[in-house]
């Protein structure tokens, strides 16, 4: 129930959704002849959408979130497990596996494999994730296929099937990992929330953030109403809502 509630609420609390709701409210106000308030609501919707689709602002917001943990350049010695968190996919056998798995999942897995190679292939890679709402193949299975295609020994891959979100991924890892230190790989923007779930279960993750999307080194101050910037703002809102949900749940 919590999983469904989280997904339903988050749909309406994203930057684009809120901007559209402002426009809908404006039309409602027009229909009841409150023209002045309708104009104000339309102005608010334009300003809202402008702010969160403005590249420099979106980059600053996301960069702040992605900078909480440093890159793990070198894997610590004697690490036995690398846990790569799931993302998403769309099964289509006419496409290469790299096109079936979403970009963030490909990047996460590649980072896990990079660290796996540093450990001379002596660690196990844990992959996780369920099939989603419209697919029949578990995401963990897709990640395993991708890992094998990239040269990982099939015997070195552990599947955590049926895990729908990060909390369930942490719970699934508890029995195997116990108090064993392990490398946790996920998107940089998601790392803060992911670590809270894993440490809440009494586990000892070593953060290995990847898939950094924000850059503040070369801001484009003329990049207005950017869909890419709006997507970055979406990620920020998603993670903030997730952190609020964790606090409500006492995590």
> Apex CA 95: angle with CA 185 and CA 164, to 5°?
40
pTM of the model: 0.92
CA distance 74 to 86: 22
Indicate the length of the chain as a whole number: 251
Q: What is the mean pLDDT of residues 218-232?
A: 89
* pLDDT band, residue 169 (cuts 50/70/90): very high
pLDDT at position 4 over 80 = no
Could you give the 3-state DSSP secondary structure of residue 77? coil
The token pair that represents 12 in the structure block: 């309406």
CA distance 216 to 16: 23
pLDDT at position 7 over 80 = no
* pLDDT, averaged across the chain: 94
Q: What is the mean pLDDT of residues 125-152?
A: 94
CA distance 238 to 242: 6
- What pLDDT, in 10s, does the model give residues 44-79? 999 999 999 999 999 999 999 999 999 999 999 999
Query: What pLDDT, on the 0 to 100 scale, is given for residue 3?
Result: 67
Domains and CATH numbers, the chain: 2-66+227-249 (no CATH), 81-210 (3.40.50.620)
Residue identified by tokens 């890159």 is 71
Query: What pLDDT, on the 0 to 100 scale, is given for residue 2?
Result: 67
CA distance 115 to 123: 9
* pLDDT band, residue 219 (cuts 50/70/90): confident
């Amino acid at each position: 129930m919590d999983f469904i509630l989280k997904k339903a609420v988050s749909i309406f609390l994203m930057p684009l959704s809120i901007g559209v709701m402002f426009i809908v409210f404006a039309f409602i106000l027009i229909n009841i002849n409150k023209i002045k308030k309708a104009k104000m609501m339309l102005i608010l919707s334009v300003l809202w959408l402008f702010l969160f689709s403005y590249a420099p602002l979106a980059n600053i917001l996301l960069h702040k979130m992605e900078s909480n943990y440093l890159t793990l350049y070198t894997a610590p010695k004697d690490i036995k497990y690398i846990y790569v968190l799931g993302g998403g996919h769309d099964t289509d056998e006419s496409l290469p596996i790299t096109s079936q798995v979403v970009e963030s999942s490909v990047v996460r897995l590649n980072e896990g494999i990079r660290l796996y190679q540093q450990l001379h292939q002596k660690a196990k890679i844990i992959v996780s994730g369920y099939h989603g709402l419209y697919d029949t193949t578990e995401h963990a299975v897709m990640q395993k296929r991708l890992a094998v295609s990239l040269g990982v020994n099939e015997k070195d891959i552990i599947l955590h099937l049926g895990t729908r979100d990060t909390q369930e991924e942490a719970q699934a890892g508890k029995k195997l990992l116990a108090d064993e230190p392990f490398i946790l790989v996920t998107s940089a923007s998601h790392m803060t929330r992911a670590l809270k779930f894993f440490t809440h279960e009494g586990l000892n993750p070593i953060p290995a953030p990847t898939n950094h999307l924000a850059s503040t080194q070369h801001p484009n101050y003329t990049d207005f109403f950017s869909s890419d910037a709006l997507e970055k703002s979406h990620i920020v809102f998603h993670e903030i809502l997730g952190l609020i949900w964790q606090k409500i749940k006492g995590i």
